[in-house]
Amino acid sequence: MKNIFLMFVLFSVLTGDVCAQSDYQTLHQQALVVDMHTDVLLQVLRGVDISKRLDHGHVDLVRLKEGGVDVQFFAVWPNPNTYQLKGMFEQSMHLLDLLETVVARNQDKIVITRSPGEVVKAVNMGKIAACIGVEGGTAIENDLGKLKILYDRGARYLGLTWNDSPDWASCAKDEVSEDFEGYHGLSPFGKEVIREMNRLGMIVDVSHSGDKTFWDVIQTTHKPLIASHSCVYNLCNHYRNLKDEQIKAIGRNGGVIFINFYPGYLQSGFGGKYQALIDTSAAFLDSVKQVYGDNFLGFRKFKSTYYSDNTQTFRPGVERIIDHIDYIISLIGDDHVGLGSDFDGISLLPKGIEDASRMPEITRLLMEKGYHPQRIRKILGGNFMRVFREVSESEK
């Protein structure tokens, strides 16, 4: 059990030299570990029971505990392709219902938390603190009242866009498309959304946001923002990654960038090789899918193993996550970086961090690079808690 209150008091007055003598596993278990993004609710939607240790996917309650993850943000993602006819807001409500059901059935393991104080209380009780982030502004359906409902249901950040743009904000994918005819940046209503989030105490998330939207947010918000699962453009030139001037702006804003674990955002050149593998394997995997029939999970496990095995020669290792952390720290300091895995929302992970149980590898590598325990604690969760406290001081 972690006494987070005592830890924060002690760590604010001590140098942490005693902890520096301990091994990485001890430090990892002592620290508050926060992961800002998992899409595992999509597996729950398909009927997967995440209360037990699974032999597929990245996240379940057992592996979160094994990995020392204290605070897990569960992404509520309204799917524009599958669920649009049901309504993006309705889909979001359904995913929230599913999370509440998981928690109700596992009250000894996990609790939904809505404030920094509730996070501390949950962790001190030895439970996983479940937090909620919404991935996509389409969820509010151009209605500030629905934004308030999501907040009241526990959502503590809103990703303004996914790969689809709401009417009032443009995503990164659309901004680089010549065919996009929607609003570029934040519309006047989009700026109202930001101001209302500031008022409520809801964190603004710019992961997936286009450049124009990003800079409009910087000009509009007066509270720290986050990029819940993003990487560095100069290390991997994917349009979805953050450029140096954006990283510096987040530093000036007091915000935090949480590193995404997807190899395609971590290493330049991976995406092209991976896409070539997908293209050349399509017919084979389609034939295998027919064999599995209605056994969706069986085929999912087969496909995951197939891609993992066939990317061994060009898939980066977990060390590449540390490279992105290092880069941000060298640019804006150690108050502005954390972890946003994107577990179960991505098809592959770096070698060495195959699921949530392997999260201590991050701490091991940071220690091996000579990072002081205090700095590691910031990266693992302290930086998030600072932003959470600052944004939670709402103006209601």
Query: Which parts of the chain have pLDDT scores under 50?
Result: 5-21, 395-396
User: Could you tell me if residue 309 is inside a domain?
Assistant: no
Q: Which residue segment(s) compose the domain that 178 sits in?
A: 4-267+316-392
User: Rounded CA gap, 217 and 169, in Å?
Assistant: 10
Q: Has residue 216 been placed in a domain?
A: yes
In a domain, 103, yes or no: yes
Q: Which CATH number characterizes residue 185's domain? A: 3.20.20.140
309: Cβ contacts below 8 Å, ≥ 6 apart: none
Nearest Cα to Cα of residue 71 among 13, 19, 112, 27: 112
What pLDDT sits at residue 14?
42
What H or E segment, with its residue span, contains residue 367? helix 360-368
Is residue 170, in this structure, part of any structural domain at all? yes
Whether 316 and 270 have beta carbons less than 8 Å apart is answered as yes
In a domain? residue 304: no
Please give the tally of structural domains in the chain. 1
Residue 284 lies in a domain: no
Q: What is the DSSP string of 40-88?
A: THHHHHTT--TTS--SSSS--HHHHHHTT--EEEEEE---TTTSGGG-H
SS3 call for 76: strand
Model pTM?
0.93
Is residue 194 in some structural domain?
A: yes
Please report the pLDDT score of residue 54 as a whole number. Answer: 95
Rounded distance between C-alpha atoms, residue 111 and residue 73, angstroms: 12
In whole angstroms, what is the distance from residue 225 CA to residue 217 CA? 9
| Beta strand segments in the chain, E | 34-38, 71-76, 110-112, 128-135, 155-159, 203-205, 226-230, 256-259, 337-339
Does 25 fall in a domain? yes
